[in-house]
Chain A
Amino acid sequence: SQELEQSPQSLIVQEGKNLTINCTSSKTLYGLYWYKQKYGEGLIFLMMLQKGGEEKSHEKITAKLDEKKQQSSLHITASQPSHAGIYLCGADGLSNSGYALNFGKGTSLLVTP
């Protein structure tokens, strides 16, 4: 099965600082999804990447998929307390799962004043 490794596992940054979260796959990614989860709540869809070298931005969050389509990064510029939460990457799973996603274990982000 496809394994997704996220790094770091947790991150504490000062408000206003930039940060990057990485997601690495053991296999080629055909669809890579980034979600944000506030503690104890459901997942909020952020972005989907499909093409090698693709980059998407939403407000201060930018996600990239490398040319080999095995690694994605999520970059937050000038972090704010509202960015705190758990960031999860997900990828299209094996065919017998239909379109279900395999997820990484998440990166917990805390933004301090």
Chain B
Amino acid sequence: SQTIHQWPATLVQPVGSPLSLECTVEGTSNPNLYWYRQAAGRGLQLLFYSVGIGQISSEVPQNLSASRPQDRQFILSSKKLLLSDSGFYLCAWSSTLGYEQFFGPGTRLTVL
């Protein structure tokens, strides 16, 4: 069966510090991968999606970036965090048919 992992589970970082969140998927090949952010009162916002290694599409301009160095690995990064980057970050995968998405447990990021 397929599983999706995210780490760390929680993170507290100062403003201006770098960020690296990792997401890995097991039990499937060539998945579509997604990064979402869930902020209070704003619902789920799609940040990035990827349909293959090295293929990243950005939905919202911001100081975050994403990379997919391996088929089942998706990384969310920032060089300098802002206060507004605080939130709950969720990684998700779907099959190449693109139907339902399956979500990881999330990373709670607090930027102070």
A residues apposed to B, CB below 8 Å = 31, 33, 35, 40-45, 48, 88, 90, 92-93, 96-106
Task: Out of B43, B92, B102, name the residue touching A104 (CB < 8 Å).
Answer: B43
User: Assuming A104-B43, A105-B42, is B99 touching A99 (CB within 8 A)?
Assistant: yes
Question: Quick check: is B32 within 8 A (CB to CB) of the other chain?
Answer: yes
For residue B57, CB closer than 8 A to chain A, the reply is yes
Cross-chain contact B49 with A40 (CB below 8 angstroms): no
Inter-chain pairs besides A42-B105, A45-B100, A97-B57, 5 sampled, C-beta below 8 Å? A33-B101, A44-B103, A97-B49, A98-B57, A105-B41
CB distance from A86 to the nearest CB of B (A): 9
Residues of B28-64 whose CB lies within 8 A of A: 32, 34, 41-44, 46, 49, 51, 57, 59
Cα of A40 to Cα of B53 in the assembled complex, Å: 30
Residue B90 at the chain A interface, CB threshold 8 Å: yes
| Contact code string B93-112 (vs A, CB < 8 Å = 1, else 0) | 01000111111111010000
**B34 & A100 in contact (Cβ 8 Å cutoff):** yes
Q: How many residues does chain B have at the interface if contact means C-beta atoms less than 8 Å apart? A: 26
Contacts A45-B100, A48-B100, A99-B98 given; indicate if A40 touches B88 (C-beta within 8 A). yes
B46 vs chain A, min Cβ distance (A): 5
Contact present for A98 and B49 (CB under 8 Å): yes
Question: Contact check: which of B43, B51, B104, B106 meets A98 at CB < 8 Å?
Answer: B51
Q: Which residue of A lies closest to B96 (CB)?
A: A99
Max chain A CB contacts within 10 Å: which of B43, B90, B92, B105? B43
B13 to chain A, nearest CB (A): 18
